[in-house]
Amino acid sequence: MKIGITCYPTYGGSGVVGTELGIELAERGHEVHFIASALPFRLRQPNERIAFHEVEVMSYPLFEFPPYDLALATKMGEVAKSEDLDLLHVHYAIPHSVSAFLARSMLAPKKLPFITTLHGTDITLVGANSSYWGITRFAIEQSDGITAISRDLQQNTLREFEIQSNIEVIYNFVNCDKYCCRRSGELRGRFAPKGERILTHLSNFRPVKRVGDVIEIFARVHEQIPSKLLLIGDGPDRAAVEMLAQRKGVRDDTVFLGKQENVEETLGIADILLLPSEMESFGLAALEAMASEVPPIASRVGGLPELITHGVDGFLAEVGDVATMAEYAVRLLSSSELYGEMARAARKTAQSRFCSTLIIPQYEDLYRRVLQRGR
């Protein structure tokens, strides 16, 4: 199939999933065209089946906010026509679904079905805002196929937007060959030269991720166990988090790595992932850690309980309960037997339920069904 994919090219989960999906589809023989404002950051390796089409937005003094959604719709239409695309798959409803609807309308009577994948804040935050509620609902219902990355998000969308169309749950996925345990490598020795244990966190450092809680948890663990904290990512809360680490006396053992292209290498050397988010529609960082045999300690919110089985392949606690999360971390790091069991169980969960070899065929099946309905 010839598939157009639009996602945000930045560090958020929707961009990661959209990009990794395109890469996996190309590996399975499909032709993939990314249509976005910039090259997705995880699109590192050249592939003859992958093309990138940049959306350029005109700058004009009359426009206080350049109309990106209109430029995107135009580019979608152009690429669909020139490359003879079979369908569009857009990630994150606003504004991508609206742009896809406009592109489909412009190309009529030629058929250009589009699929919308909902990722979380496009529903719970942006779409729920009164300024966007109506257009979000319209764009979702106009989609030829709709997916959500967890049952929790599916039910939230059906309830909050009164959607009549069917929303399928297709979970996020991980490449279980790329994400694996790397704790015996020399990279670990570079961060933990004295054999310290390594805790890590991966996010875009927005308030919803509660990165300050990561510092609070680490400070408690650090008092009992020699350890290091690796923070992967960047965002608006970074400066405040650095100040908090200084106040808690753990700044020297906290490493701010910033945005990383090869996330799998850093995750693979860690012992525990901390994910104390206020909301996670799925928790992709937790899944990538689990595939790397890194047990996650996370909040009991959103789609995380669909991924993590408490006490088996990770731990769950209430939002803000940093004392309990720290207690779980100390318990894990103090027992090699418990740690080994949980690390192996985490990897098994990733392989048996969320491996890309299991999830990508679900998207392919959806594409075929949508195309068949169109015929």
Write the DSSP assignment of 250-316 as a string of letters: -GGGEEEEES-S-HHHHHTT-SEEEE--S--SS-HHHHHHHHTT--EEEES-TTHHHH--BTTTBEE
pLDDT of amino acid 50: 96
Instruction: Please check whether residue 121 is in contact with residue 144, taking contact to mean a CB–CB distance below 8 angstroms.
Output: no
DSSP type of residue 124: I
What pLDDT score does 63 carry?
Answer: 78
Question: Position 124: which residue type?
Answer: T
Residue 210 has pLDDT above 80, yes or no: yes
- In angstroms, the CA 94 to CA 122 distance is 6
Of the candidates 293, 335, 334, the one whose C-alpha atom is nearest the C-alpha of residue 314 is 293
Helix (H) or strand (E) holding 189: helix 186-191
Per CATH, is 2-173+356-374 categorized as 3.40.630.30? no
Domain 186-353, CATH class in plain words: alpha beta
pLDDT tens string 125-145:
776 778 889 999 999 999 999
**pLDDT above 90: residue 152:** yes
Q: For strand 2-6 and strand 31-36, is the pairing parallel, antiparallel, or unpaired?
A: parallel
* 2-173+356-374 and 186-353 in the same fold: yes
Q: Are 137 and 163 in contact (CB under 8 A)?
A: yes
- Picking from 63-67, 75-79, 207-211, which range would have the lowest pLDDT averaged per residue? 63-67
Q: Where are the domains of the chain?
A: 2-173+356-374, 186-353
